[in-house]
Amino acid sequence: MADPGLTATTFAAVFVALYIGHSVGDHWVQSSCQAADKGRPGWTGRAACARHVLGLTATKAAVLLAVVLVLDLAVGTAGLVVGLGADAASHYWADRRTTLARLARLCGKSEFLSLGTPAHPAHPVTAAGTYAPTLGTGAYALDQSWHTLWLGIAALVIAAL
């Protein structure tokens, strides 16, 4: 059995690396076209989402590789494959948009899902009373918290296997 202290340390370092890689990959590496098209129906949306997840996963792997090498972490191939694979699959699922929105509605989060959009009853307005766009939306918060959950799961798998 592995040393629990080393496994916990590995989990923490792997999670931080994945979180950094996620933030960079989801916001800097993702192209505007991928962001705009990944939720579209059909092959256009699927392909855009797949390209996004490929670039995102490569970014996470690069950051993780640097952390593993610099800190001399003991991580196995099986953990990396299963952890990064599960994270990539969950990211693709959520970023198709209708799937995560459906889950949010099922969990009673419809109002929060629409927060910050014209669909929300208390949406932001300008002084003239028209919709005032905002960078923060409920949909974005739910999306990012979903991804963070799966980063934690991936880090746990990578550290444990």
Three-class DSSP labels, 124-159: CECCCCCECCCCCCHHHHHHHHHHHHHHHHHHHHHH
pLDDT of residue 127: 79
pLDDT along the chain (161 residues), means of 10: 79 98 97 95 97 98 98 95 98 95 94 77 73 75 95 97 92
Distance CA 147, CA 22 (A): 8
Tell me, yes or no, if the pTM score tops 0.85.
yes
- Token digits for 51? 């390209």
How far, in Å, are 86, 87, 94, 124 from residue 147 at the CA level?
A: 11, 8, 8, 26
pLDDT of residue 143: 93
Helices (H), the chain: 4-24, 32-37, 42-71, 77-95, 98-106, 110-113, 138-160
pLDDT of residue 116: 74
Distance CA 150, CA 161 (A): 16
